Amino acid sequence: MKANKPKKSFLSGGPRNLLIGTMVLLGFIFILHTLTERNRVIQPLTYSKFLNLIERDEVKRVHVAGHDVHGFLKDGTRFETTIANKSGDWELLRKHNVEFSIDSPDGAFNIWYLLPLLSLFMVTMMALWYFLRQSRGSNGGGGNSIFTMGKSRARLFMPSSINVKFDDVAGVQEAKEELKDIVDYLKNPEKYQRIGAKIPRGALLVGAPGNGKTMLARAVAGEANCAFFSVSGSDFIEVFVGVGAARVRDLFQQARKHAPCIIFIDEIDAVGRQRGSGLGGGHDEREQTLNQMLAEMDGFQTTGGSVIVLAATNRPDVLDNALLRPGRFDRRVDVPYPDLKSREQILGVHAKEVKMSDEVDLYKIARGTPGFSGADLANLINESAIIASKANKEKVDIADMEEARDKILLGKEVKSIVQTDEDRKVTSYHESGHALVRLLMPDDSDPLHKVTIVPRGRALGVTHAMPEREKYTHTKEDMIANIMSALGGRAAEELVFNKLTTGAYSDFKAASSIARDMVCNYGMGSDLGQVIYAQGHGDFVYSQKTAERIDGEVQRIMDECYGRTMTLLKENREKLNLLAETLFEQETMYAEEIYELLGIEPRAQHRFS
Ligand code: ADP
Ligand code: ZN
């Protein structure tokens, strides 16, 4: 889960320990130094006084270095003096039983002068020890020393340590279907190689954080019982040019050793952004890294075992197109926010981990948590368990769940992700408008697949038509049907709420682009005739006057379609209401459910399935 990954602070773990250690050491040395300072109070004596003291037998010990004399009196006082080099003095010392030693003149040496040097030395040693230790233990990530710069920071999980299966990932049915192919391939590569089937080398898991992308990737490894490398796109990024590329190389090299296996790259957009999008030359490093990744992906299938790369992102739009080409991340697997049913299932998975009172109805909780991600729901269960524990309860009850929900909701509202019921109602009608118009179109236009009001990317809801046939097979009726169902959303909003929202902008863009195609490319405009007016690519093959006529014709088609759509919805107002209300409750509906709900005879395509 990305959200609560601890931030790396400037001083964390090792470096901080090192700093504290050094400070303690220096403090210790300082105390020692001041303690012994007392002994260092030195009495300067004149030569004659010194001789006097010897005569009175008060001197215990002296050390002579050249003309300098250091010594102790019998009462412990330290003294120093300067003497003349007369051998007669030695006799005097002997006579009075003074211990004495003589040094060469330069040997006068004080250990305390060495202290700063000594501590510097120790600090250096400790730093060295720290880095050496780091370089040994850093394959698990986190370490960053000169010895390991070019090593990948991926974490490797062996099959035995992966305990996630598809069943643990609740909801996301379609994503699991898509990924099953990969599991099957990893398990029986020969089956595919025999026939020469091309297998995806990579799949892109697209969805907002916390909806289970990481979990799904692990589950693929879990199902296929193969090794799993986990790394984040940002782990490749380093200021030093060439380091990222080296890490990529290292990662793939390791992965090949463990093939068959999965490489999971979280937040791939950190490396995978469109090349050349940075100002100036500051992006060389990232581009090199990306190029290396592309090269590795192109290369690895030919050199043996299968390594499949799964990458996660919430921003597929910023990725470099080269990444999405065949043989790379050519499969896109959507991992959307969970709808009602999925939310209930996710709650079910996590509720198993705590003691839950029987009165808690997870379906109700699921209904009260639209817009929650899988991670939010896991968090909800955990929070409620904490709340219940604090209150010394035996089990988690409804009140705990509600308190936890409100707490999380508050956090989400700050980020303004949560939609009000009013918003969701408008979205329900909007999507129902698209869907209903689509259903009421002639049998041979694109059939409806599913409708959802679960937000995805920037869209509030989505209405899918399936199968998407190639453009050139569209008939004029097909194209009109597509325009009308695109306009159905806006028309429903206008009909029911009598107000216009900005939500329909992309619908309008889509509709008018179809209309323009009809007029310019297919000669379907009524008064422009069978002429193709190429558009785009910069070369205008028609005059200003023709351009105006094209615009007029596009406008006419749009107006006519909008009018027809409105009439259609008015005639089917009850169906629209029923669909919108049911969709509001269920959030996602498949074509079959809608046919049944509205009592419409299913289309040929659906009768078989
Ligand atoms: P992502 O990689 O998309 O950011 P994660 O896979 O890290 O999301 O999910 C974060 C956590 O949220 C998981 O560890 C799990 O507890 C919970 N979670 C998310 N989606 C699901 C799901 N479909 N079923 C069960 N738990 C989920
Ligand atoms: Zn729409």
Q: Are 334 and 175 in contact (CB under 8 A)?
A: yes
Does residue 431 lie in a domain region? yes
Distance 501 CA to ligand 2 centre (A): 11
Across the range 257-270, mean pLDDT stands at: 89
DSSP-derived letter for residue 316 is G
CATH number at residue 553: 1.20.58.760
Structure tokens at 117: 């040097």
Ligand 1 closest atom vs CA 208: 3
Distance 78 CA to ligand 2 centre (A): 96
Q: What pTM was estimated for this model as a whole?
A: 0.60
Considering the domain architecture, whether residues 205 and 315 belong to the same structural domain is answered as yes
Q: Which residue range(s) make up the domain with 217? A: 155-334
| Confidence (pLDDT) at 285 | 75
In the sheet that 78-82 helps form, which strands lie side by side, from edge to edge?
42-44, 78-82, 68-73, 59-65, 99-103
- Measured CA to CA, the distance from residue 330 to residue 202 in angstroms comes to 7
How many structural domains are present in the chain? 5
Is the beta carbon of 172 within 6 A of some atom in ligand 1? yes
Considering the domain architecture, whether residues 462 and 566 belong to the same structural domain is answered as yes
Considering the domain architecture, whether residues 276 and 389 belong to the same structural domain is answered as no
Considering the domain architecture, whether residues 577 and 497 belong to the same structural domain is answered as yes
Q: Which of 332, 265, 331 is nearest to 296 (CA)?
A: 265
Worst-scoring range by mean pLDDT, 240-244, 387-391, 486-490, 500-504?
500-504
Q: Are 429 and 496 in contact (CB under 8 A)?
A: yes
Considering the domain architecture, whether residues 452 and 596 belong to the same structural domain is answered as yes
Ligand 1 closest atom vs CA 335: 3
Specify burial of residue 356 (Cβ count, 10 A radius: 0-12, 13-18, 19+). buried
Is the beta carbon of 312 within 6 A of some atom in ligand 1? yes
Mutate to test the pocket of ligand 1, among 205, 214, 215 (most ligand atoms within 8 A of CB): 215
Considering the domain architecture, whether residues 215 and 265 belong to the same structural domain is answered as yes
Residues with a catalytic annotation lie at: 431
pLDDT digits (tens, 9 = 90+) for 156-208: 888 888 889 999 999 889 899 999 988 988 888 778 777 777 777 889 999 98
Last residue of a domain, one of 369, 390, 410: 410
Considering the domain architecture, whether residues 469 and 597 belong to the same structural domain is answered as yes
Is the beta carbon of 265 within 6 A of some atom in ligand 1? no
Q: H helices of 138-212, where?
A: 173-187, 189-195
Contacts (Cβ under 8 Å, ≥6 apart) of 164: 215, 218, 219, 222
Distance 413 CA to ligand 1 centre (A): 20
Binning pLDDT at 50, 70 and 90, where does residue 36 land?
Answer: low
Q: Are 401 and 365 in contact (CB under 8 A)?
A: yes
Is the beta carbon of 213 within 6 A of some atom in ligand 1? yes
Is the beta carbon of 374 within 6 A of some atom in ligand 1? yes
pLDDT digits (tens, 9 = 90+) for 555-591: 999 999 999 999 999 999 999 999 999 999 888 888 8
Q: Which ligand is nearest to the CA of 486?
A: 2
